[in-house]
Amino acid sequence: MTAGPPDPIPGQTSTGSKRAEALFGGLPGPRVMVRSEGCRVWDDTGRIYLDLGMALGAVALGYGHPAVVAAVEAAARDGGVSSLPPTQERALAERLVTWVPGAEAVRFLKTGAEAVAAAVRMARVVTGRDAVLTCGYHGWLDWCQARPGVPRADQLLHRALRFNDSGDLEAALAQHPAPAAIVIEPVVEDPPDAVWLAHVRRRATELGAALIFDEIKTGIRFGLGGAAERYGVVPDAVVLGKALGNGLPIAAVVGSRDLLDAATRTWISSTLATETLALAGALAVLDVCEGTDAIAHLQAAGARWLAGCHALAGEWPSVITEVRGVHEFSFLRFADAEVSAAVASAAARRGVLVRRGPYNFPSASHAEDDIQAALNRLADAVAEVAASC
């Protein structure tokens, strides 16, 4: 048999977490989608799947939400972008500063990774320092990665912290120069310990470092005030993304005037940071969140999913070793990588898409029957894998 032409996309897809290997570990499963609606995805064979991944958490209201679609259609008809800043930019900024604790100013970008990087650059401008401490995942850019292709000099400016560990923070501060910023995900696998979070805030203040909350996952899903409001700690900046656009490419740094004004003393700019489709879509997201019970519905769906996953783990401990997370996003930890692949593949055969690791993201579009159906199908998949172990 003659081999076909080489794949024009190295690694199969430009989003690493959507690779077939990442999704199903080399086992059978759907490879591409042709459409999505609500909490369902259609593949290229016409098969329909209940989706718990929800585009890696980028969609909180549901795929193709009517209000968001209408806003995008109107923005597209009006041209989408021009040589002047659009009215939607200021309108969205004014809405965000009313919701995010301590916020006075906003800067828009297109992706979470570049928005966190922008917040760090602003902190470096304000403090005149280079070092950064982080806790969690903040994207693929050089400032926070230790990967092939990242200069050693960049790696030396960054030190990762252990979540909920004040001692590790103190050890890092003893070993490294005072940082420009401490960047944390308020929730990683578990909620933050209140003492740890308060300690991080206090030490950042004492050191004159910017405390940046990476709320790419928690923003909007936790409510419009995000994790900062839920846990009662006000950072110097919050970074929003994912659910802010309900699938549209938009991110924002929302924070103090002192920090955000630094954007005018360096260069943080992108041609399409102010295209109107995503800005209009985000405004529609806020309208829905303010005017309906969408977030409460999302959180209730997540609570049902999490409870069902705990029940499954109790029934099949040889397959599922633990369940981690919060109502808004959670995940199953499996016995090993082969088992996780087998469960994901078996679930897909039954018409449900679940992640092998972090995270599953129940949405406002998941009805109670959808969550129960997904749990039933996942239970059958887990039973099948358990029987073969």
Residue ranges and CATH numbers for the domains of the chain are 16-64+293-388 (3.90.1150.10), 66-291 (3.40.640.10)
* Res. 389: pLDDT tops 90: no
* Res. 308: pLDDT tops 50: yes
Angle among Cα 66, 72, 73 to the nearest 5 degrees reads 85
Average pLDDT over residues 293-298: 98
* Res. 1: pLDDT tops 50: no
Average pLDDT over residues 8-14: 94
pLDDT on residue 176: 87
Q: What is the pTM of this model?
A: 0.97
* Res. 282: pLDDT tops 80: yes
Residue 266 and residue 125 in contact, taking contact as beta carbons nearer than 8 Å = yes
> For 135-160, b where at least 16 C-beta lie within 10 A, e where not — what string?
bbbbbeebbbbeeeebeeeeeebbbb
Please, which pLDDT band fits residue 120 given cuts at 50, 70 and 90?
very high
- The mean predicted confidence, pLDDT, of the chain is 97
Please, which pLDDT band fits residue 3 given cuts at 50, 70 and 90?
low
